[in-house]
Amino acid sequence: MRRFLNILIICILSAAQGIACTSVIVSGKATESGRPLMLKHRDTDDQNNRVEYFEGEKYCFLGLVNSDAPAGEVWTGTNTAGFSIMNTASYNFRDDTLDIPMDREGEMMYKALSVCATVSDFEQLLEDYPKPMGVEANFGIIDAHGGAAYFEVNNFRWVKYDVNEISCGYRVVTNFCQAGRREDYKGYERYLIASEVMRGEFTPDADHRFFFNRLSRNTQELDGQRIPRKITSASIVIEGVREGEDVNDIVMWTILGNPLTHIAYPLQVRPGTRLKMQKEQLINKKDNSKELNSKELSGKELNGKELNSKELNGKELNLKKEQRIYNRFMKKKLRRKEK
């Protein structure tokens, strides 16, 4: 009996740990560059994540996927139309008791990246999507036409929040829907930590480094909870473009593994190509405590090299390397514009 109770307690704690994900969208109206920003800090029991390139119905796209999952699911991504999407799970918005398969958010995002170019396109997708949808989540979206919004979605309905209309210019979302039951809020401590950082430290010149360093690497605790956790599998910041800018300039800054021990690389998807391969195209084939292998998306090893993860005391060294990668990327970007 005692053994049964111990197993039950472990299962409950494991399930509680799995209730996680932290996100932020910043409107282009609130940034110095005029470009929107989107953070997805992913917590999941599936630690084996990678980034893949897909050729969809209308658009090609990059997507964060579970390495062992079947095709057709994406958990954050951006496409060649300049449309980017992410999600966080919710646990307080479902208002039915149907016995149906749930947690199908990855399928919906795969479909959205394949056919959507704007926030309005996604809203139409929700309208046309077969009901019940098999989801209970927050979906965050930015596009290349100034759009920036969150959608709280369940099996039959949704509520839209236009980030452009929020006075502070951004919105923080974790694992509850504001339109849902308050007694079932999850991730509220992480919501408070992220909101405090944004309120006190966000400035219009902030870029992906701010979100990684002040949120994904923030070890502040509140009631025993913090943003980076043992089950953190990735963190992504997507830097969009202003309306009229080249969508090829969108960057999906990607950390595979725990941000406390791994560094960010810039990924870009370009129309009509299979994606120009660089060291930045990574697949995380091992867990966070071991190594992060640098490989091409085709699965071929890249020069046989490996990027070793560091313990927390190696964080400073990692950030120096991360800065060098950023500097090289910006130089290449400047050279492209000069041609």
Could you tell me if residue 60 is inside a domain? Answer: yes
Could you tell me if residue 3 is inside a domain? Answer: no
Number of structural domains in the chain:
1
In tens digits, the chain (339 residues) has pLDDT values of 454 444 443 344 444 445 579 999 999 999 999 999 999 999 999 999 999 999 999 999 999 999 988 889 999 999 999 999 999 999 999 999 999 999 999 999 999 999 999 999 999 999 999 999 999 999 999 999 999 999 999 999 999 999 999 999 999 999 999 999 999 999 999 999 999 999 999 999 999 999 999 999 999 999 999 999 999 999 999 999 999 999 999 999 999 999 999 999 999 997 554 444 333 344 443 333 222 332 322 222 222 233 333 334 445 557 888 999 999 999 888 887 776
Give the whole-angstrom CA distance, residue 56 versus residue 81: 12
Q: What is the pLDDT of residue 336?
A: 79
Could you tell me if residue 14 is inside a domain? Answer: no
Yes or no: say if 103 and 155 are a contact pair by the CB < 8 Å rule. no
Give the whole-angstrom CA distance, residue 283 versus residue 65: 10
Report pTM. Answer: 0.85
Could you tell me if residue 8 is inside a domain? Answer: no
Could you tell me if residue 5 is inside a domain? Answer: no
Could you tell me if residue 334 is inside a domain? Answer: yes
Q: What is the pLDDT of residue 315?
A: 55
Q: What is the pLDDT of residue 9?
A: 39
Q: What is the CATH number of the domain that holds 87?
A: 3.60.60.10
Could you tell me if residue 10 is inside a domain? Answer: no
User: Quick one: CA torsion of 118, 281, 287, 60, rounded to 10 degrees?
Assistant: 30
Q: What is the pLDDT of residue 318?
A: 73
Domain ranges, residue 256? 19-338
- The alpha carbon dihedral of 110, 116, 118, 124 has a sign of negative
Q: What angle do CA 69, 74, 80 make, to 5 degrees?
A: 140
Could you tell me if residue 140 is inside a domain? Answer: yes
Q: What is the pLDDT of residue 271?
A: 56
